[in-house]
Amino acid sequence: MIADYQWFIALLLADLLASTASAVPQRVFFAPSVTNPAIKQFNNNHYAVVDPAVRNRGRLVPLLPGTGATP
């Protein structure tokens, strides 16, 4: 399950980097159910930010804002 999610994010970010012509950070919004159709609750959009000017280190840094907070 986690492996599917990681592959989805990796492909999403790779596609974003390939299509980015400038060094402006790009935001991509996606519903968690895109990664796993079984997700029915807490399906509000998530987003990833990619800065093409930064060297790829192969890391994904999640933001866990806590109760009642927003990223």
Confidence at residue 38, expressed as pLDDT on a 0 to 100 scale: 92
Query: What is the Cα–Cα distance from 5 to 2, expressed in whole angstroms?
Result: 5
List pLDDT tens digits, range 23-50.
788 888 888 888 888 989 888 888 888 8
- Using the predicted structure, report yes or no on whether residue 13 has a pLDDT greater than 70: no
Q: Does pTM surpass 0.75?
A: no
Look at residues 18, 28, 17, 7 and name the one whose alpha carbon lies nearest to residue 51.
17
